[in-house]
Amino acid sequence: MTKYLLLLLLPLITYGQENFDQVLNDQYDRFREQGIESRRFKHQDIQPLIESIGKEDGFTLTTLGNSIQGRSISMISVGTGDVDVLLWSQMHGDESTATMAMFDIFNYLKENKDILQGLRVHFIPMLNPDGAELFQRRNAIGIDINRDALRLQSPESRILKAARDSLQADFGFNLHDQSRYYNAEKTSKPATLSFLAPAFNFEKDMSEKRESAMKIIAMMNEVVQKHANGQVGRYSDAFEPRAFGDNMQKWGTSTILIESGGHPEDREKQFIRKLNYLSILTAIKGISDQSFKAKTTKAYWDIPRNDRKLFDLKIENLTFPYLGASYKVDLGIIYDEIENNSHSDFYLVGKIVDIGDLSTHYGYETLSAEGLTFKTGETYPTILSSFEEFRELDIPQLLRSGYTSVSISDLPTEIKFVTDPINVVDIKKIRIPRNNEMPTSPVNFGKNPTFLLMKNDQVVYAVVNGFVYRIDGAVNGVKNGLVE
């Protein structure tokens, strides 16, 4: 009889969930926390927001302890039910996407606590504030908190374990960021979000708790697919005995890992932040009304696995000369983020990370060099006396003339990059080659890619610092040139 009633109710549950998803999406801008606009924020930036939320009706703010360097670690709780849900973010200090989403969720829950029927939900927004200060993965003494679940050497690790144990949390959400170079297996689409119901032993056995996590993930995946179709991956379930997610599952907390990856034109992860908001609130409602139980573990296993075959830029069929011969290759290029001294902003340095047959790989951007002639760019022969003089240059005309860099004699040391599609050479750093030194290949693994692609003796594309600049101006995505 119970099974028959469940079958009757399933259409109503599904309809209600779809309507909930749509409302969440339509109202997102209303609840988006405007005080956070980029990934690089610190403890001092979010602490006023945490304290403000703690004063809201129905919310409780608890200081769980302090980091190694003495920064407070807080937990915000809301709801009055008997089922405890624990979410923790930024145990890796440079993985902040879900932290942003938490503040959006707080704003939503101020007005919509009704979705918490039967639940008490606990949020730890920044578990590793010392790492966040430097925007680095590890804590102040170099420990990866997510490999400290057994020894509990760090105060941050002990705080998380104590929170889980004191609550005897029924459900746990382990919120991370992953490399933007992961893709959904066998596709060119980035793994914008990846999910995992962690294994609790090397045999990857199943349990009721792990199955529940899989069903919750199946529910979240349905929502994400509506906004990022095909851009979901399933994280590897290889058991890591030192990791918190694996041990949470082992300790009896049904645990869900969310990894925020990459998305085109979203290096600051603001769209991915929204996906976290949608999927986490969907999961909370699904736990509250038990609708997740209608999902299947098969839907979880149907999610394609994470793969890592993405580049920022893939150049196909590039022919270049070296020592009297020609070589035809594909190039895989990524953009490394180089931070400023305060760890609050960055510029990008292009780097060739693979050369050869890359037919099984993909790019956020792909350029075919078929039929184009490779040419090494030259340095503009006039040495500029100042950076102000550089500002007066006609950069597109320089590129058309075959120049991909300019040199400056008096370059201020604080200038590390330029926002123009050309590289700048500090003549004080020019290296003079030794006699009889073997000439290097114009395309070097691990080096910065800057060159021209020609057709009929005309420059069609300038590749500057790994970015493609189309000379006719139709498509240009150069973020910055490099100061060398």
Question: What is the pTM assigned to this prediction?
Answer: 0.93
CB 101 within 8 A of CB 273: yes
Q: Which pLDDT value is given to residue 410?
A: 83
> In which band, very low, low, confident or very high, does the pLDDT at 17 lie, cut at 50, 70 and 90?
low
Tokens, residue 222:
């349905």
Q: Which pLDDT value is given to residue 484?
A: 78
CB 139 within 8 A of CB 224: no
Q: Which CATH superfamily is domain 10-307 in?
A: Zn peptidases (3.40.630.10)
pLDDT digits (tens, 9 = 90+) for 91-116: 999 999 999 999 999 999 999 999 99
Q: What is the mean pLDDT of residues 243-258?
A: 98
Taking alpha carbons only, the member of 421, 416, 418 closest to residue 403 is 421
d(CA 420, CA 27): 38
> In which band, very low, low, confident or very high, does the pLDDT at 343 lie, cut at 50, 70 and 90?
very high
Q: Which pLDDT value is given to residue 18?
A: 63
403-408 β-sheet, strand order: 378-379, 403-408, 423-426
Q: Which pLDDT value is given to residue 9?
A: 43
Q: Which pLDDT value is given to residue 483?
A: 84
Dihedral of CA 368/372/378/382: which sign? negative
Q: What is the mean pLDDT of residues 241-255?
A: 98
- Locate tokens 């869900």: which residue? 256
d(CA 404, CA 400): 9
Q: Which pLDDT value is given to residue 4?
A: 40
- Locate tokens 């005897």: which residue? 168
pLDDT digits (tens, 9 = 90+) for 113-139: 999 999 999 999 999 999 999 999 999
Q: Which pLDDT value is given to residue 401?
A: 95
pLDDT digits (tens, 9 = 90+) for 127-174: 999 999 999 999 999 999 999 999 999 999 999 999 999 999 999 999
* Mean pLDDT, the chain, integer: 93
Residues of the chain with CATH 3.40.630.10: 10-307
Number of C-beta neighbours around residue 466 at 10 A: 25
> In which band, very low, low, confident or very high, does the pLDDT at 11 lie, cut at 50, 70 and 90?
very low
DSSP assignment of 290-344, as one string?
Answer: TGGGGS-HHHHHTSPBEE--EEEEEEEEEEEEETTEEEEEEEEEEEEEEE-TTSS
> In which band, very low, low, confident or very high, does the pLDDT at 291 lie, cut at 50, 70 and 90?
very high
Q: What is the mean pLDDT of residues 191-210?
A: 98
Q: Is the pLDDT of residue 411 over 90?
A: no
Taking alpha carbons only, the member of 13, 32, 182 closest to residue 107 is 32
Q: What is the mean pLDDT of residues 56-83?
A: 98
> In which band, very low, low, confident or very high, does the pLDDT at 3 lie, cut at 50, 70 and 90?
very low
Q: What is the mean pLDDT of residues 49-60?
A: 98
pLDDT digits (tens, 9 = 90+) for 213-228: 999 999 999 999 999 9
Q: What is the mean pLDDT of residues 55-81?
A: 98
pLDDT above 90 covers what percent of the chain? 85
Q: Which pLDDT value is given to residue 464?
A: 94
Phi-psi sector, 464: left (phi>0), alpha (psi -120 to 50), beta: beta
Q: Is the pLDDT of residue 16 over 70?
A: no
Q: Which pLDDT value is given to residue 427?
A: 78
Q: What is the mean pLDDT of residues 50-61?
A: 98
CB 79 within 8 A of CB 116: yes
